[in-house]
């Protein structure tokens, strides 16, 4: 059996003003379906060989997560709480320790997932996961590769090596978030995949690699886990111990360094919804190429992403804009500038 581990501790600042610290994007419905990204992630795991998930998130979001798990009938003491995020390497370590402890001496397979990804072709995705199980059971750290179509710098890049099986390759190099020039080189050179940010491995495989490459993180997580306490639906890890843990992502801490990595390329309509323009890319458009949510009227306007929460939003003669209206804030940005929404959020934090 595979245990999904859903990482849900990110702040999602690039989808401000809809996504807020108190209610980040993974808990919101951003596609108008009424289901949150976390709920969609839960729904995606419909296979008999996949058991109930573990969700790991920030203390302050515990009731949102519990509610969304309950709604899907998947709440059963399976939420791990971090007092404050230390990025994904520690989060996955806590989940791995928990998987080992609760599996009666077994060393279960963990399917590590982000709570904020869109996957359009769920069956193909599940096929790729099932294909990976044999390799993960053989101590490999399996990644899922996406064929890149632009030199994005927000992703990890995986250079595939020798074939290990049908559509399974060794990892020759893993480069987390390269600069623009390197990303362009990788694209021209070919043979590179984006890291989708999802992983499949045995709990002990991950912990052994972490112990080898980042013993400092491993030690802090072990202490934090050993001093954790159960509070009905929640497992709270030892606060002081965890706060001492260095903050690092699984990609830098383990995946760039491990020699046991494999990549399974897949075409599943994947998006990590990293910005408003990536939402424009994947959502349904009107006859003028506008994506519209809520009460919106456009005249002579093309290629815009317009989201209204609770007011009428109207546009005349504008192009390539992102307009997002919420109860207490409005964003108007050129699509080409949407990555800088993060800077606005930082400015707001400084002025707080
Ligand atoms: N519990 C917990 N604690 N979850 C966290 C934390 C944390 O401290 N930090 C981030 N997460 C969650 C986020 O909510 C998200 O679901 C997932 O972990 C990945 O974190 P991101 O911060 O979104 O990572 P990224 O997008 O910059 O990079 C990763 O994903 C890319 C694909 O989307 C890397 O794995 C890249 O290599 C990859 O290409
Ligand atoms: Mg992300």
pLDDT tens-place string over residues 105-132 = 999 999 999 999 999 999 999 999 999 9
Query: Does the pLDDT of residue 97 top 90, yes or no?
Result: yes
Place 305 in a pLDDT band, splitting at 50, 70 and 90: very high
Q: Give yes or no: residues 41 and 115 share one domain.
A: yes
Q: Give yes or no: residues 75 and 185 share one domain.
A: yes
Query: Does the pLDDT of residue 352 top 80, yes or no?
Result: no
Position 339 scores a pLDDT of 86
Q: Give yes or no: residues 285 and 257 share one domain.
A: no
* Ligand nearest to the Cα of 115, by number: 1
Nearest protein Cα to ligand 1, atom 4: 9
Q: Which atom of ligand 1 is nearest to 11's Cα?
A: 14
Tokens of 117: 């990804």
Which of the listed residues 226, 256, 271 is the one where a domain comes to its end? 271
pLDDT tens-digit profile of 137-191? 999 999 999 999 999 988 999 999 999 999 999 999 999 999 999 999 999 999 9
Domains of the chain: total: 2
Nearest protein Cα to ligand 1, atom 7: 87
CA of 287 to the centre of ligand 2 (A): 30
Q: Give yes or no: residues 252 and 280 share one domain.
A: no
Q: Which residues have a beta carbon within 5 Å of ligand 2, which is an ion?
A: 272
CA of 57 to the centre of ligand 2 (A): 14
Helices first, then strands: H and E counts in the chain:
11, 19
Query: Residue 4: which H helix or E strand, with range?
Result: strand 2-7
Q: Give yes or no: residues 217 and 280 share one domain.
A: no
Which of the listed residues 229, 252, 271 is the one where a domain comes to its end? 271
pLDDT tens-digit profile of 310-336? 999 999 999 999 999 999 999 999 999
CA of 301 to the centre of ligand 2 (A): 30
Query: What domain range is 219 assigned to?
Result: 2-271
Query: Does the pLDDT of residue 11 top 90, yes or no?
Result: no
Kindly tell me the sign of the dihedral angle through the C-alpha atoms of 266, 262, 159, 154.
Answer: positive
* Region label for 20, one of left (φ > 0), alpha (ψ between -120 and 50) or beta (otherwise): beta
Cα–chain-centroid distance for residue 155? Answer: 11
* Ligand nearest to the Cα of 197, by number: 1
Three-state DSSP class for 235? strand
CATH of the domain at 245: 3.90.550.10
- Residue 252 CA to residue 11 CA, distance in Å, equals 19
Pocket test for ligand 1, best of 14, 153, 197 (most atoms within 8 A of CB): 197
CA of 10 to the centre of ligand 1 (A): 6
Angle at 61 between CA 85 and CA 223, to 5 degrees: 40
Q: Give yes or no: residues 196 and 285 share one domain.
A: no
pLDDT tens-digit profile of 35-74? 999 999 999 999 999 999 999 999 999 999 999 999 999 9
Q: Which residues of 233-263 are buried (b: 16+ CB within 10 A; e: fewer)?
A: bbbbbbbebbeebeebbbbbbbbbebebbbb
User: Crossing angle, helix 215-226 and helix 203-213, to 10 degrees?
Assistant: 130
Kindly tell me the sign of the dihedral angle through the C-alpha atoms of 71, 73, 76, 79.
Answer: negative
pLDDT tens-digit profile of 238-290? 999 999 999 999 999 999 999 999 999 999 999 998 899 989 988 999 999 99
CA of 104 to the centre of ligand 2 (A): 33
Nearest protein Cα to ligand 1, atom 30: 197
Q: Give yes or no: residues 14 and 77 share one domain.
A: yes
| DSSP per residue, 284-343 | ---TTS-EEESSEEEES-BS-EEEESSS-EEEES-BSEEEEE-SS-EEEEEGGGGGGHHH
Q: Give yes or no: residues 65 and 205 share one domain.
A: yes
Which of the listed residues 220, 242, 271 is the one where a domain comes to its end? 271
Q: Give yes or no: residues 297 and 257 share one domain.
A: no
Residue 88 near residue 250 (C-beta atoms within 8 A): yes
Q: Who lines ligand 1 at CB under 6 A?
A: 7-10, 26, 56-57, 82, 85-88, 91, 114-116, 154-156, 176, 194-197, 251, 272
- Residue 251 CA to residue 240 CA, distance in Å, equals 25
Residue 172 near residue 123 (C-beta atoms within 8 A): no
Three-state DSSP class for 246? coil
Q: Give yes or no: residues 152 and 196 share one domain.
A: yes
* pLDDT > 90 fraction of the chain, expressed in percent and rounded: 92
In this prediction, does ipTM exceed 0.90? Answer: yes
Q: Give yes or no: residues 156 and 129 share one domain.
A: yes
Cα–chain-centroid distance for residue 227? Answer: 27
Q: Give yes or no: residues 209 and 294 share one domain.
A: no
Place 350 in a pLDDT band, splitting at 50, 70 and 90: confident
Q: What does each C-alpha distance from 61 to 55, 89, 105, 198, 254 come to in angstroms?
A: 11, 20, 31, 22, 27
First and final CA of the chain: distance in angstroms? 47
């Amino acid at each position: 059996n595979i245990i999904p581990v859903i990482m849900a501790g990110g702040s999602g600042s690039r989808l401000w003003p809809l996504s807020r610290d108190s209610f980040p994007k993974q808990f919101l419905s951003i596609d108008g379906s009424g289901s949150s990204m976390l709920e969609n992630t839960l729904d995606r795991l419909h296979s008999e060989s996949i058991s109930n998930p573990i969700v790991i998130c920030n203390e302050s979001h515990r009731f949102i997560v519990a509610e969304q798990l309950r709604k899907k009938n998947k709440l059963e003491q399976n939420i791990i709480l971090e007092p404050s995020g230390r990025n994904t390497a520690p989060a996955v370590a806590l989940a791995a320790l928990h998987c080992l402890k609760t599996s009666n001496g077994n060393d279960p397979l963990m399917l590590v997932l982000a709570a904020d990804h869109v996957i359009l072709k769920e069956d193909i995705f599940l096929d790729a996961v099932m294909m990976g199980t044999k390799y993960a059971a053989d101590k490999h750290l399996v990644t899922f590769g996406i064929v890149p179509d632009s030199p994005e710098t927000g992703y990890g890049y995986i250079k595939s090596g020798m074939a290990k099986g049908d559509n399974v390759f060794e990892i020759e190099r893993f480069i987390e978030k390269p600069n623009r020039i390197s990303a362009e080189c990788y694209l021209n050179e070919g043979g590179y995949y984006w890291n989708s940010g999802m992983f499949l491995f045995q709990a002990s495989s991950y912990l052994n690699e972490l112990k080898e490459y980042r013993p400092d993180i491993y030690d802090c997580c072990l202490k934090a886990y050993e001093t954790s306490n159960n509070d009905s639906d929640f497992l709270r890890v030892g606060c002081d111990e965890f706060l001492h843990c260095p903050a690092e992502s699984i990609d830098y801490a383990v995946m760039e360094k491990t020699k046991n990595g494999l990549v399974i390329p897949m075409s599943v309509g994947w998006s990590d919804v990293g910005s408003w323009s990536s939402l424009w890319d994947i959502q349904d458009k009107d006859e003028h190429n506008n994506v519209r949510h809520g009460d919106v009227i456009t005249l002579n306007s093309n290629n815009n992403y317009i989201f209204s929460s609770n007011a009428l939003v109207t546009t005349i003669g504008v192009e390539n804009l992102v307009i997002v209206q919420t109860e207490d804030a409005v964003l108007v940005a050129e699509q080409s500038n949407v990555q800088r929404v993060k800077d606005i959020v930082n400015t707001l934090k400084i002025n707080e």
